[in-house]
Amino acid sequence: MIQCIKCKQVDKIMKAGYIRGRQRYLCKECNYYFTIPVPNLSASSSTRRRRHQTTIIDIARTLGVSNSTVSRALHGHPDISPETRQLVLDTATQLDYQPNQLAYSLVKSLTNTIGIIVPEFFTPFFPNVIVGVQEVLTQAGYHLIIMQSSESYDTEVGNTKAMLANRVDGLIASLSLQTNNYEHFEALDKRGIPIVFFNRVCHELDGPKVVVNDFGGAFKAVEHLIQNGYQRIAHLGGPPNLVISQERLRGYTAALQKHGFEIRPELIIHSDLTHQKARIYGQYLLDMAHPPDAVFAVNDPTAIEIMILAKSRGLQVPEDLGVVGFSDDPIAAHIGNGLTTVRQPTHQIGRITAEMILKLISEEEEQWVPETRVLETELIIRGSSVRGLRESLFS
């Protein structure tokens, strides 16, 4: 019999649901609500709200062995017999045991996690590099944290702080357009976290790097234009603070000098790699009293903007204007009669970068060698630079 705790009535009590694990009642005599505990309800309700995760202690209790025996068996300790280890593993499977990777990482001071920071995802270059990186890391048992700076120095700084907070074992990075200060990377280096830079690197930090032969690729591109009869070749380059911009400009000028061409500063323009600036500077070049008859662009998106701009002005590519890009984006083969470009081994860049970071993690800090790997490029010749082929940009 349930008695109202207020008026002591027992005949007019009715159930009114549950609240916080207790049966709720209503006394119709005095219109008073009250609760009383229900055996085992609180425990079962708590179980529903919070699932118990199996621990080493649970396995040990089930088998009647010590916690340390289970721990050693799970980690393959040689002191544990094969029979006992198999019994522990079978029991762990039955109880759905999942190892606490965070706790294990704190003990070992390793998280088996690598971070990678890239400046953008608009072009296929960086996603293709990431694919190569992940292939190697996955095979080695590592996880990959991917972040992008969106070409922002401040975002890049925030990315490095997030990587540090996530206790990454190593970092792979390519710099943003705005990066001129490297203290955020030095902060990781001081904590013993190895860093490998790729593509957009800095000489101020004495660490391993993976780059392509930007100088050689640009030299081949401009020499190809010269060999196809172009006389007034412009260069629409990238931000001057980036090493890749500097090297591609150096290759451009070296090719002109080799063939006796004058270096004309008015034909060299530095851009920020955006479509908008490529269009503005492309218009500036074509509006010159003596416009160029060819353009070597720092990347394919810039080159494609030049081709579209030329089309809008009634110019024929390559008869009136030769165009060569850099990177061999997938669209390069399909724009007009095809864009001549310099192909970079993006997948190989990713794999080599990952191999380098794993090597650094496994070595003692004093053994780290600031190695720079330089990979070769390939000139892919298509219709945008070979005179005699009519342009059919959108046909």
Query: Residue 347 and residue 356: Cα distance in Å, rounded?
Result: 14
Checking if the pLDDT of 369 tops 80, the result is no
Residue 168 lies in a domain: yes
Query: Residue 375 and residue 343: Cα distance in Å, rounded?
Result: 11
Q: Which among 78, 69, 172, 177 has a CA at the least distance from the CA of 120?
A: 177
What local confidence, expressed as pLDDT, does residue 52 receive?
A: 64
Residue 395 lies in a domain: no
Query: Residue 289 and residue 262: Cα distance in Å, rounded?
Result: 18
For residues 110 and 101, the model is more confident at 110
- Per the DSSP assignment, residues forming a β-bridge with 34 are 25
Residue 5 lies in a domain: no
Whether residues 149 and 203 share a domain: the answer is yes
Give the tens place of pLDDT for each residue, 125-136: 999 999 999 999
Element (H, E) at 196: strand 195-198
Q: Which of 13-22, 86-95, 165-174, 317-326 has the lowest mean pLDDT?
A: 13-22
Report the CATH number that the domain containing residue 75 is assigned in CATH. Answer: 1.10.260.40
- The b-or-e profile of 256-295 (16+ CB within 10 A means b, else e) is beeeebeeeeebebbbebeeebbbebbeebbeeeebbbbb
Residue 290 lies in a domain: yes
Whether residues 231 and 328 share a domain: the answer is yes
Whether residues 228 and 309 share a domain: the answer is yes
Give the tens place of pLDDT for each residue, 56-75: 888 888 888 888 888 888 87
Residue 264 lies in a domain: yes
Residue 2 lies in a domain: no
Residue 23 lies in a domain: yes
What's the domain range around 26?
13-49
Whether residues 158 and 197 share a domain: the answer is yes
Q: How far is CA 173 from the centre of its chain?
A: 8
Whether residues 118 and 85 share a domain: the answer is no
- The b-or-e profile of 136-155 (16+ CB within 10 A means b, else e) is bbeeeebebbbbbbbbbbeb
Q: What is the DSSP letter of 383?
A: G
Whether residues 207 and 248 share a domain: the answer is no
Q: Which among 257, 264, 267 has a CA at the least distance from the CA of 235?
A: 267
What local confidence, expressed as pLDDT, does residue 17 receive?
A: 64
Give the tens place of pLDDT for each residue, 34-57: 666 545 444 444 333 445 678 888
pLDDT band at 385 (very low <50, low <70, confident <90, very high): very high
What does the pLDDT average to over 293-318?
Answer: 96
